[in-house]
Structure 1
Amino acid sequence: MPRLKRALLSPKLFVKSILLFTIVYTIYLSTSTTTSVYLSTTQSKLNIYTNQLYQKINLQFNQWYYNILVYDYNLFSDSNFQQQLTIIKSEKLQDENHKIDLWNLDDSFNLPVSVKVPNYLLSPSSSSSSSTDKKPLIQPFDPRLTLSVYYNYIETNKDNGNDLKLPFHWSDWVDFSKLHKYILNPSKTDLCSSLFDISNNDKLNKDSEIKSVDQYCQFIGNANNGNENKATNMLGYKIFAPAQAQTGANHELIGKSYLYTQAPSPKRLIFLTNTNGNYQFDVDNYNVNNISNSILYNEKLTSNLASKVNKENEQSSTLNVLSSYISLIKNSPPSLLPTKQQNNPKDNEIDSHIIEIPEEYFINDPQSIINQLESSNSQLSNSEKDFLSSIKYSVDCKDPPKYFYEAKYVKAMKENWSGEHYDWRFYNGLTIHNAQQQSIILHRLLKNYLKFTQSNNLITWIAHGSLLSWYWNGINFPWDTDIDVQMPIHELYQLARFYNQSLVVENAGTKRLGNSDKTEEFEFDGMGRYFIDVGSSVTHRTKGNGNNNIDARFIDIDTGLYIDITGLALTNEESPDRYNDFLTIDQNTDAGKQKFDQLKQNQKDGDKNNNYSLKNQQLKLYNCRNNHFSSYNELSPLIQTVVENQPGYIPKNFMYILNDEYNLKSLAKKNHRDFTYFNNFNLWLNTKDVSKYLAHKHSPNENSPDGSNQAYSLIKFNKLSKSDHINLLKYNPIMMKEYLETMNFTNYHNLELSQLLKISNYNHNHNNAQTNVSNIGIYRESYDLFNHYRNNYKLGYSLRPDHFINFIIHDNSRWDYQLQVDDLIKLQKQLENDSQQQQEQHHEQQQG
């Protein structure tokens, strides 16, 4: 057995030996005796060339090594394989053990997009005491009801146009079911001290920084306090600040309690569509947290709901969220709201495939923004007034405090790092242990962020780990916990000015392209909701105290998972040495000699900042607040691509950026953590799950990998036959589901990547060339491929199901809304009776 193992691993030693020789030889070629960073043009070009040569050789050898024995079966185009897969899919859908897990593969599945409307909402002024009409203190959360009510309200009040302001309370948009027993219980207990105060638990607090409970929680009690709002009195306490290190269960209550009692409303609600434009409305009194603005208590939102329900389905009193969406966009189409105008090269179709970023978009000049807003003759909107105040605050604040807080766990908890990937306000429990839920949330996050930025003309691109995962197969890594994007500082200011504190609502329906406006030609899309939050110190473009490396977030309010948004700007920060080869100064000209002398004098004087400022200006180097640098030539023009089946953008020289941040091995290494990449599926699969299949396939006496030895497992996996591939999907229906959901897109991604690699190589060899679409045919090939995919496949459609629909399909108790209402009323009555009994007992004890 050891002999067989050594034989299998022998290519590893051989390849590494060749790699070592290649690396040493290439380094030798690139060695220079030049000591100054200001190189001659000839030396600079030589260094650049040898570096590029090294990168190409290194990448090719890594790819060869990690694909030893792999055979390309071209499963996507293999009709026999696809026929077998269709049969297996049909069999699994008939199997009761797998039917629910595979529901979204069933084309005949009837989606539960309708919700029964409680009678108390249909006749809000009724005084009926019947159980079906009784109004609870708080009603269950269901986005089907919330979106249907708001779609109807907007359509009914369409004559008000953009002047329409919407009522809002977080209880209609976030699931507060974990607070229900505290809200409904008339006898309030001091949860601040009894539950949230963990300061006396030394075992739990070990090595953690615990915040005093009175710094974020205040007990109100049973009495109706006239100084507090209605929601605070109903809950009996209020959360007014983040708690820092806490237990996971407490974080869920703390975040929801803050939203319910104290959090201001979003400033604006933005309803996306999959057509041109979106609906944008300001929120009425957004600074005030008032539960009277909720659907339950605000009759204005439900005043004509009865007629809407009767029109849709008189017998069952239901609302269909998809029908409500269709009715809105047909009867009151979204206007292209002129909230933001900028010179963006997207005026015609071909130019949308590439975006030349104006260089001035990377210049950080907050004072000019302040001057422009203060001298503006036009009336500033409330959002612009708030933006002006925030910019002034940022400029004046020399040491800004931490802005974004996460659901940080105490260190004594298992996997204490995991809570830091969730915003504390919207934390609803860990998702990292549910791979399908995690992939759904991250997919929908990116889908709606890209749709939002596209429809509002904001320049952005995927970055860091998200760019690396795109390189492999166009979708997020299965171990990802967040998404990274970047934008120029100019666009970050635009985001803050017009959209900060907005709630973005996913388009509930998608109109099938090429069809007429018939109801059946729309299909359900999703009901995600996402909060845009821009930090309070965006004018600071250096790391500073390190507390605010992230400029903004696009947050999923169902879970607290988010997209990190960072702005790039020209600064005087120290830029990496890798750019020195591009820094050339012609000392034969007066201007060049003057600049060279100035740089040398700066070095001599020790004026480091001034020195890097000049270097960064000459090379057009831009950085975020975490000191990730990119050059203008690496970024622009941005190239249109498809990310998670959504149109998006990547930097021009993405290969150079990935090599610098992750090294070339990351573009070829096929095993990471618990996952292995399978070329024929274009997917990262759980290594242990594949090993289980091989163990199942082989007899107990035969050797099969257990995943612990990555090199050995990889060789065995690379040798899988075509029949192994189909049997693996049959053995593991969840893998089959993942493959069927993504195969059309990942196959396109492989074709697209080959085109984009040509572009990247061209750009690498033409660093100073000006982009001109008309005379660079390689861009045309990429553009034509993109159009072919758009015209023949479902570009822009969701690869994964809606989070809430998937949730209620797996949880029958959440399917029927009326049953949830009835359960709440029963709980309310039980708690009222229990409280009354306690009071009577207490009274008897006092009498005795």
Structure 2
Amino acid sequence: MWSRRVGARWLRSHLSIIRKFGVLALLVFIVYSQLYLFHSGGTNETLKGWIDSIRSEQKLSSAEFAAYLYRKMKYDTSPNWIDTYTLNENLLTLPLGPKQGTKLRSIEELRFYESDPRLTWSVLLEHLQTAEAERKENRVVSFSWYDWSDFHMFNKLVSLQEVNFGCGFLYETAFELTQLEAIEKEINDVLFISDRLKYNDPKWMEATRKKEIERNDPVVYPESRCRRYSDKSRKFNLPVEAHQLDEQCRPEVFALQTRSYLLNHYKNPISLTLMEHDNSSYRVFVDPNDRSNIQQSGYLKSFLQKNGVTTVHNDNGNGNGRSGKKNPNVVFDHWKQYNIFLQSNTANHYRTVIPEIDKVSYDRDFVHLSDDLFEVNVPSIIEELESIENPNPHDKEYLESLKISRETHPALASKFLSEAAHITQFNGMGYHRDKRFFNGALIHDPLEYQLRLNALIRNWLKFTRSNGLITWLAHGTVYGQLYNGLTFPWDNDFDVQMPIKHLHLLSRYFNQSLIMEDPREGNGKYFLDVTNSITVRTSGNGFNNIDARFIDVDSGLYVDITGLSVSSTPLSDKLTSDYKKFSAIFDSKSYAKDKKWPERGEGLASMDIFELQNYTADHSDKFSSDQLKKIEELVNHERNFQQGTDKPESGSNPNERYWTNKELKAYNCRNNHFVTLELLSPLTSTVFHGVHALVPRKVAGVLKNEYNLPKQFGFEVFDGKAYLPALHSWFNYNVLKRFANSNSWNTKLQKIKSPISKLDFPDIKLLLDNMLKLGYNDLFTICYNAFNVTSYRYKEREIQFDNSSSKNEKFKLLHILRNDVAPQLSSPGKDPYMFNYERRMWRKVGATIGNTIMRAIHKAVETQASNELWSSYVATHEGRSELFITRNELGDVEIDLNNHGRKITEPNTILESDPF
């Protein structure tokens, strides 16, 4: 209800602007001429009820409503919902399938439902409150992936009543066309969108399904791989179950396979972690054996009964349920439920407390790292865990993991994390997706792709800060931040690092937890997976260079997490100068002579590589040929190194290298990336994708060890991409040249008057207009929504490199920027769930009102957005941006940061060195 009012206020306040474009009259005429469709079966009952309820409440015309919906979908990144989720209009009204729009009488009649966060959060929170009130000892919750991941395509198949399919539908290279068409005819909808048109091309189908076409006999799938059920009345599931994953198929097929595997075979998480902004988190343990969803567990029924539903039956519009008494239309208000939870004693019971953490450090502008953060005494931790009388499930998992790790030799560790690396016709993009949670290509939907990446990193940063866990941006991720406070748009994942001590704390408290974004901020759900070999700090056989992943369960996209620690890994060539200076005053052989090698584990892991080779020679039957080959390779590498090379530390053994690296304060991840404490600490507070983040003290110094960092910040072309400082963004260079219309190739476009590489300010408006005229609407949306975040990064850099201010003056201004301005930044991208929710509604509206009015709405809303964005550029350019003005409670200006900082013009050399 509240979210509707917010949207209506925005719309009413902007109607005069929209009307100036001369399009609204056309919208009104066309929409009203087609209004009969809303009331004569031209659209389904769900859409009709939704439209009528919002229009009636807000007194909006159909044209105004359609414009509002499109505007909110594309240019509103706030977490406000467009509608209210209720029992009758949402849960008991079928949202898809052959009976779409039908109203059920009871939750007992549900065969499927969409995992709307308002539904699942409300029911979970009510259950937690009830368990606390009843003081139940067994405080674990039942769990089903069905409630906490996207099963939209899956549910379309669950809704089927006539069409049948077998295991081949989940495992063949591509869907069989006749069967796919029969399914889509019954559900009156496409099964999937991305690449769907390719199925209509006979030549493409013949080439794609070649192996299926050439096969004479049907494939027999063993039950260990796929199981078939004959019960057509089965609820919340398909007639087939995938028990093994095989990505040798198209993305849409594999997405369906993974959903089935996830629901029926993959284990429950150990816990649910509920985030409260970036302040706190609450950990709820999950029953490992109870896979019931909220309807099967009785949680939903209990919720409804507590909200006055006695019969749990819909009255089907006649006022009479089975009891002859009308039940209330319950609202699932999860924001209200969460506020109640946070203020209750229940929250205190579930609050996560990590005794070893000083959360106050995150409130400082600089986070100082001590060298003890980069070593962990694992035997001592194991001893402590074994002494706990009643360890919780996370402690049990962590202890087991440490024991496995201590017994695992780096040369023999099997690969732990898995990627969907072999998906057919996916151009290797599966390497950037977790196999278990893969849920579709996304590469043909660049806007949703960017939204998911944006939500992913924002939630990782909020999650770690809420628990005081130290993490900083690394590799290509911090490189992207250096430019405009965002990741490079071509990156498919994120790279972050942690000190090894905090990686262990992450593993102990949250490994195998499903981490859920504060529902008042978004709807993200992320699975944390830490390898079972984190005590191994050298690359070994190279299978486990990544220590952990923070995985979006609705797409499989992830954050790569690596720990930095002391190890015996030979120093990288980039640290040759540091090593020569240090070795002149440090004798590693004498120093390490009487010291134990801390990396020695137990069993085979207690051996160095030469000892392991001798052991395998005597027990070769216990090892595979690949393992023996890898051991020989590592032996040769170590022997050559100890015999002397031109590398730093050459001639030293692993124990000597360990103690040299420790004293040098040079730390590495398992992928052999080194950084010194001097480059890292103190970590500097900044903003990345609109939320608080930490970066190394010497960002340029760190990046120079990995990349050929340019000296100048300005226009730049790299591998077909161009950075345009005036628009704060990277673009495909060929696309950018089309916007510029430099050669007047398109007479319908305006030609910019200045070169792209030295763009005059007025030409920004021409570029924005041309971008929209060429149909790059999604690219424009990304620029529009990210403007405040990218402007923040520009202002931060202007203050950092202002040579007219002292260091203390700059620190003071940066403190104001981070504490007073940063909290006002909105997300540079819309919540992915909410975007898809509104996009599905928009498509339904579009199917009703037709292409003509949709194009008119596009033009009206996007013309307005273009003018707004141009006004923001002008205000920033003229030094009067409201974003950088801090005011007191009376609205008086306290400080205007527009007047501070050095404008970064070309030429410059600010990327060559660090500001402090």
**1:825-840 alignment runs, 5 A limit:** none
Q: Does 2:562 match 1:566?
A: yes
1:846 is matched with which residue? none
Matching of residue 506 in structure 1 with residue 505 in structure 2: no
* Structure 1: distance between partners of 2:450 and 2:552: 13
After superposition, the Cα gap between the structure-2 partners of 1:303 and 1:401, relative to the gap in structure 1 and judged at 3 Å, is same
Taking the aligned partners of 2:356 and 2:590, their CA distance within structure 1 comes to 35
Measured at CA, do residues 568 and 597 of structure 1 come closer, stay the same or move farther in structure 2, by a change above 3 Å?
closer
Q: Where does 1:633-648 land on structure 2 (aligned, <5 Å)?
A: 633-648=678-693
How big is each residue's C-alpha offset from its partner over 1:783-834, in whole Å with a ceiling of 9 and x where there is no partner? 6424334324544642321111111211128999xxxxxxxxxxxxxxxxxx
Structure-2 change in CA distance of 1:231 and 1:784 (3 Å): farther
In structure 2, the CA distance between the partners of 1:754 and 1:584, relative to structure 1 (3 Å rule), is: farther
The one of 654, 670, 673 equivalent to 1:625 is 670
Deviation, structure 1 residue 553:
0.8
Deviation at 1:613, TM superposition (A): 2.6
Whole-Å separation in 1 of the counterparts to 2:22 and 2:821: 28
Paired residue for 2:551? 555
How much has 1:694 moved relative to structure 2?
A: 3.0
- 1:542 correspondence with 2:543: no
User: Does the aligned pair in 2 maintain the 1:470–1:476 contact within 8 Å?
Assistant: yes
Q: Distance in 2 between matches of 1:343 and 1:746?
A: 35
Q: CA deviation at 1:482?
A: 0.8
Identify the residue that residue 723 of structure 1 maps to in structure 2. 762
What residue in structure 2 maps to residue 695 of structure 1?
Answer: 741
Post-superposition offset of 1:503: 1.0
C-alpha contact (below 8 Å) 1:346/1:355 kept by paired residues? no
Letter in 1 for 2:227: F
| 1:665 counterpart SS class | coil
**Partner Cα distance (1:622, 1:590) in 2:** 18
Residues 334 and 683 of structure 1, relative CA distance in 2, 3 Å threshold: farther
Structure 1 portions without partners, runs of 5+: 1-83, 124-128, 206-210, 225-229, 510-524, 706-712, 760-775, 817-848
Secondary structure of the residue aligned to 2:736 is helix
C-alpha change, 1:560 and 1:98, in structure 2 (3 Å) is: farther
Q: 1:146 deviation in Å?
A: 1.3
Taking the aligned partners of 1:584 and 1:497, their CA distance within structure 2 comes to 39
SS of the counterpart of 1:318?
Answer: coil
**8 Å CA contact retained: 2:550, 2:560:** yes
User: Does the CA contact (< 8 Å) of 1:188 and 1:236 recur in 2?
Assistant: no
Q: Deviations over 1:214-254 (max 9, x none)?
A: 59613243279xxxxx889x544433343244321221122
Aligned to 1:842: none
Deviation, structure 1 residue 322: 3.0
Q: Distance in 2 between matches of 1:747 and 1:185?
A: 50
Q: TM-score, normalised on structure 2?
A: 0.64
C-alpha distance in structure 2 between counterparts of 1:636 and 1:189, whole Å: 61
Residues 1:319 and 1:157: Cα distance change in structure 2 (over 3 Å): same
Aligned 8 A contact 1:139 1:296 in 2: no
Q: Write out per-residue CA displacement over residues 90-148 of structure 1, whole angstroms, 9 at most, x where no aligned residue.
A: 8599688986554253699973252122499899xxxxx98433613232332221122
Q: Which residue identity is paired with 2:121?
A: L
1:361 to 367, 370, 373: 373
The aligned counterpart of 1:112 is: 82
Read off the aligned partner of 1:135 and give its amino acid letter: E
C-alpha displacement at 1:777, in angstroms? 7.5
- 1:445: which partner in 2? 456
Structural mapping, 1:458-469, within 5 Å: 458-469=469-480
Cα 1:797–1:501, aligned 2, differ >3 Å: closer, same or farther? farther
Aligned to 2:35: none
Aligned in 2, Cα 1:309/1:792: closer, same or farther, shift over 3 Å? farther
C-alpha deviations, 1:493-515, integer Å up to 9, x for none?
A: 11111101111111122xxxxxx
Structure 1 match to 2:298? 299
Give the Å deviation of 1:714. Answer: 13
| CA distance in 2 between partners of 1:548 and 1:573 (Å) | 15
Q: Structure 1 CA distance, aligned partners of 2:553 and 2:381? A: 31
Of 242, 245, 256, 2:245 maps to 242
Match of 2:728 in 1: 682
Matches within 5 A, 1:103-142: 103=72, 105=75, 111-118=81-88, 131-133=104-106, 135-142=109-116
Q: Which amino acid aligns with 1:396?
A: E
1:746 aligns with 2:790: yes
Residue in 2 that maps onto 1:219: 227
CA RMSD of aligned residues (A): 4.5
The verdict on how the C-alpha distance between 1:659 and 1:119 changes in structure 2, with shifts beyond 3 A counting, is closer
Q: Is the 8 Å Cα contact of residues 634 and 652 (structure 1) preserved in structure 2?
A: yes
Matched, 1:810 2:839: yes
3-state SS in 2 of match to 1:430:
coil
User: Which amino acid counterpart does residue 375 of structure 2 have in structure 1?
Assistant: I
- The AA in structure 2 aligned to 1:308 is N
Instruction: Return closer, same or farther for 1:325/1:421 CA change in 2, 3 Å cut-off.
Output: same
Q: Which moved more, 1:270-279 or 1:578-587?
A: 578-587
For the 8 Å contact 2:277–2:466, the answer to whether it is kept is no
Where does residue 887 of structure 2 map in the other structure? none
In the alignment of these two chains, the number of paired residues is: 671
Preserved contact between residue 354 and residue 637 of structure 1 (Cα < 8 Å) = yes
Residue of 264, 269, 281 corresponding to 1:266? 269
How far is 1:702 from its partner?
A: 12
Give the Cα separation in 1 of the matches to 2:368 and 2:721. 37
| Residue in 1 that maps onto 2:827 | 798
- Note the alpha carbon deviations across 1:191-230, whole angstroms, 9 max, x for none: 445651569999569xxxxx99759613243279xxxxx8
Please give the alpha-carbon distance, in whole angstroms, between the structure 2 residues aligned to 1:264 and 1:450.
26
1:147-226 mapped onto 2 (5 Å cutoff): 147-159=121-133, 160=135, 164-180=139-155, 183=158, 191-193=166-168, 195-196=170-171, 217-222=225-230
Determine the C-alpha separation between the residues in 1 that align with 2:293 and 2:792. 45
| Aligned equivalent of 1:387 | 398
1:532 aligns with 2:528: yes
Whether contact under 8 Å (1:363, 1:490) holds in the other structure is: yes
**Structure number with higher relative contact order (C-alpha < 8 Å, ≥ 6 residues apart):** 1
- Greater shift, 722-731 or 735-744, is seen at 735-744
The 2-side partners of 1:215 and 1:534 are apart by: 30
Deviation at 1:473, TM superposition (A): 0.4
Provide, for residues 722-769 of structure 1, a one-character-per-residue CA deviation record: whole Å limited to 9, x for no partner.
Answer: 33212322343545543432222222212323555689xxxxxxxxxx
Change in 2 beyond 3 A, CA 1:803/1:216 = farther
Question: Partner letter of residue 749 of structure 1?
Answer: R
Cα deviation digits, residues 489-541 of structure 1 (max 9, x gap): 111111111101111111122xxxxxxxxxxxxxxx21111111111222222
| Structure 2 CA distance for aligned equivalents of residues 278 and 242 of structure 1 | 33
